[in-house]
Structure 1
Amino acid sequence: MEFKNSKYVEKMCEITNELYKHGWDERNGGNVSLRLTQDEVDQFDDLNKVIRNIPIKFDATPLAGQYYLVTGTGRYFKNVHNYPERDTGLVKITDEGNSVDLLWGFNDGGQPTSEFPAHLMTHIARQKVDSNQRVVMHCHPTNWVALSFTRNLDEKEISKLLWKMQAESLVVFPEGVGIIPYMTPGTNEIGQATADKMNEFRVVMWPHHGIFGCGDSMDEVYGLIETVEKAALIYTTIQSQGGDIKQEITDDDLRDLAKSFGVTPNPKFLSMDKVK
């Protein structure tokens, strides 16, 4: 089988198309990277030679030898499912760590997303937390971004707000969400700030811009971001209806929910000491 027809490329096409249809990746906004193992790469005969070497503006030595299927810079997610070999590429981090070898894709001369250093920094951080982590996803969910304009950029406040918008939130992201200050995108500085937060969270807010999420699979990370955005949408809807809340999910309700589903809320945001 050629790599173009692999389940990895098919899933990348599916997820990027869904992100676009949700309106979370307008124009060329957003990027995704998926780590592949050596055994997964070895299944394909067309990945046995280097097409070209691409410099990267980051020392990725801790990831040397790892493979990443990544979306390209300047590429529109609405096109990926039709042109995966143009708009995505499979790269291997070189031993020197300052470049990648292209093994497949970017067939028009393209390169990995400008946020690739930020992705790699997050991959480094998350692999230290959980070696199974292999996906990083960045997009611009509308209601999530709106929260960064109307609410305090406080991790406890935003996390508890989202937990209380729907029962699923606490179950899906019990650690809550991380928040960095507004920073210029596409820089190593924003990448490092994000990676630092990824030591504790799987979701990080880029205020006035978007979201960074990570996890074990494309479906998991997509579902994580989808759940966060759904909670933010419910909040937006409440505000559009006047914001007068008559009843709510209480802290005690959250504790009962955590106990029932066997999850542990971030203790900095919610203490479990009062569980009945």
Structure 2
Amino acid sequence: MSKFINSPFVQELSKITFRLYDHGWDERNGGNVSYRLTEEEVTPYEDTKKVLKTIPIDFDGKDLAGMYFLVTGTGRYFKNVIDFPERDAGLVRIADDGKSVDLLWGFNDGGRPTSEFPTHLMGHKTRLKMNPDQRVIMHCHPTNLIAMTFTQKLDEREITRILWKMQTESLVVFPEGVGILPWMVPGTTTIGEATAAKLEHFGSVIWPQHGLFASGSSIDEAFGLIETIEKAAQIWSIIQQQGGKIEQTITDKDLSDLAKAFHVTPREGYLDV
């Protein structure tokens, strides 16, 4: 049997973590990714059948018992995952009691899942209720989006409208808008619960002065959502650098027509039409 390190799942995680770093969105040990795998995807690999150790988690994951997650490690630099995936990532299975995970592969230097793993699990749990194909949670630090949280009111409707109007693609990719939390201490149950509550309504959640938490049914979908939101924020930032005066824009009527053409439904009350 092939070793799990050569699986398409580890390869995907290795590539995307480097791309997140290369975009400047995951400096140092900033950012984390979790990727839900199925039992059918894991069991063909002989080196995932033995429990290497049991790691307690600060979350009641009983509803996710038996699920497998490929997750980045705490304190690990995203630029290194592509070269050392078996050190900087691990495959875990949620234990039956939901209070710990069984490490099946990876973290071969004694590491453990990201400190944000409970928040990831809360997010997966919430999104799975709405989409059984939910697979990926990504947290990163997109530069221009973070900058917006210093200068704009943390109003979900207003920031969503700004991002929608920065490029035609935005409304199509995230018609539900973006969720926003107040500033909160990361790595806590409190921010995990608040993020999960927002994920009932949005595919992504802004953590002000910190970063973005995004979900998706695949690596590409979650990464593409982040790319699109950050690109819109970058365009807005460039407009401000050019003086902030807008001569023409995408109107609310334009956005309504766009939604009809692409068969998406904008969040109710967000368009003035």
Normalising by the smaller structure, the TM-score range is: over 0.9
Structure-2 separation of matches of 1:270 and 1:101: 47
Report the counterpart of residue 153 of structure 1 in structure 2.
Answer: 154
Report the counterpart of residue 124 of structure 1 in structure 2.
Answer: 125
Report the counterpart of residue 213 of structure 1 in structure 2.
Answer: 214
Deviations 1:60-87 (A, max 9, x none): 1110000000000000000000000000
Report the counterpart of residue 41 of structure 2 in structure 1.
Answer: 40
Report the counterpart of residue 185 of structure 2 in structure 1.
Answer: 184
Deviations 1:190-231 (A, max 9, x none): 010000000010010000000000010001100100000000
Structure-2 separation of matches of 1:140 and 1:251: 29
TM superposition shift of 1:269: 1.2
Structure-2 separation of matches of 1:246 and 1:49: 63
Deviations 1:20-76 (A, max 9, x none): 000000000000000000110112111111000001111111100000000000000
Report the counterpart of residue 62 of structure 2 in structure 1.
Answer: 61
TM superposition shift of 1:144: 0.5
Report the counterpart of residue 265 of structure 1 in structure 2.
Answer: 266
Letter in 2 for 1:78: K
Report the counterpart of residue 109 of structure 1 in structure 2.
Answer: 110
Structure-1 separation of matches of 2:92 and 2:98: 12
Letter in 2 for 1:172: V
- Any idea what SS the aligned residue of 1:149 has? helix
Residue 231 (str. 1) matches residue 232 (str. 2): yes
Structure-1 separation of matches of 2:189 and 2:224: 27
Q: Extract unaligned runs of 5+ from structure 2.
A: none
Structure-1 separation of matches of 2:204 and 2:58: 24
- Any idea what SS the aligned residue of 1:73 has? coil
Report the counterpart of residue 174 of structure 2 in structure 1.
Answer: 173
After superposition, the CA RMSD in angstroms is 0.7
Letter in 2 for 1:193: A
Structure-2 separation of matches of 1:132 and 1:268: 28
Report the counterpart of residue 76 of structure 2 in structure 1.
Answer: 75
TM (norm. structure 1) is 0.98
Deviations 1:133-153 (A, max 9, x none): 110000000001011100010
Letter in 1 for 2:52: I
- Any idea what SS the aligned residue of 1:191 has? helix
Structure-2 separation of matches of 1:134 and 1:218: 8
TM superposition shift of 1:270: 2.3
Q: How many percent of aligned residue pairs carry the same amino acid?
A: 63
Structure-1 separation of matches of 2:60 and 2:247: 52
Report the counterpart of residue 51 of structure 2 in structure 1.
Answer: 50
TM superposition shift of 1:268: 2.9
